[in-house]
Amino acid sequence: MISLRSRSVQETHALASAIASVVRPRDMVVLSGGMGAGKTAFTVGFARALGVNDDEHVSSPTFTLVHTYSTGRIPLHHADLYRLGSLGEVADLGLREQVDLGAVALVEWGDVAQAVLGDCLVIHLENDLDDDDARDITISVRGHDWDARWERLRDAVRTWTVQS
């Protein structure tokens, strides 16, 4: 596990961008953490780093479930499972299939659906009770997709690393 500290929304954008630099087609990324933790903010920084066009405005897909951005170096599917009722509904979104075809998915509240989403990078964001602008962020992984890239990932986020 890698533990990071963000002190502003700009830092969250920057560290998301650093993570995006190590991401490749077929990566599933789960974003966990409560309301307002910064999952959508993370996605904004991540999408920009993939080169998603500024006029593809990145916003929360809470009501539409999935937004797809196709102008970056990898097709990006951004989902928010907060309102989904069952694992079957999550499966129906076809996120795993899209990822297996060569896309990347960022899935807010995806931790509840890991059985359907499969192997993934898990980014957990946590508010700080004493500092509105700070977040404690951890990176962990399910499966072996990241074994060969783990040290590169560690290097990419070194600026924000704290001892865990």
Ligand X SMILES: Nc1ncnc2c1ncn2[C@@H]1O[C@H](COP(=O)(O)OP(=O)(O)O)[C@@H](O)[C@H]1O
Contact residues: ligand X, CB under 6 A? 6, 8-9, 11-12, 33, 35-41, 60, 108, 133-135
**Token pair of 51 as six digits:** 């080169």
Q: Which stretch binds Mg ion (CB under 5 A): 53-61, 70-78, 98-106, 155-163?
A: 53-61
Q: CA 47 to CA 28: how far, in whole Å? A: 14
For position 127 contacting Mg ion by CB under 5 A, the verdict is no
Please report how close the Cβ of residue 20 comes to ligand X at its closest, in angstroms.
Answer: 16
Minimum CB distance to Mg ion smaller for 11 or for 108: 108
Pairing of strands 120-128, 131-142: antiparallel
In 32-160, alpha helices (H) = 39-49, 87-92, 95-100, 114-117, 150-156
With 0-12 / 13-18 / 19 or more C-beta atoms within 10 angstroms meaning exposed / middle / buried, residue 106 is: buried
Q: Which residue is nearest to ligand X (CB)?
A: 38
Q: Does 40 bind Mg ion (CB under 5 A)?
A: yes
Q: How far is the CB of 80 from Mg ion (least distance, A)?
A: 6
102 binds, among Mg ion, ligand X, none (CB under 5 to 8 A by kind): none
